[in-house]
Amino acid sequence: MESFSINSAKSYLGKNVNLHLKDGSVIINVQLIGIRRDDFGKSAFVEYMPYRNRGMACVPLRSVAWAEMLNLNFLQAVS
């Protein structure tokens, strides 16, 4: 399996996903907002917003193992 890279993250921009981190934790039901680099251009961060929330957070790209796409139509029908 390939590692989660900037190109992989770009394909999920604007979509709702579960972010699986390398330490085994999962950030559930977030929308990927953007990708930004630090001031020196070495580290990249994935910016996300939790579902139905206005706050934005970020996580280092290197700590994301993979992203799982969500189907919001299914989630809204169940709730």
pLDDT in tens, 6-48: 999 999 999 999 999 999 999 999 999 999 998 887 899 999 9
Q: What is the CA radius of gyration of the chain?
A: 13
Domain 6-78 in CATH 1.10.3470? The answer is no
pLDDT at 77 over 60: no
Of the two residues 49 and 42, the one the predictor is more confident about is: 49
Please provide the DSSP assignment of 10-67 as one string.
HHTTTSEEEEEETTS-EEEEEEEEEEEE-TTSS-EEEEEEETT----EEEEGGGEEEE
Residue 41: the pLDDT is 76
What's the whole-model pTM score? 0.83
pLDDT at 51 over 90: no
Domain ranges of the chain: 6-78
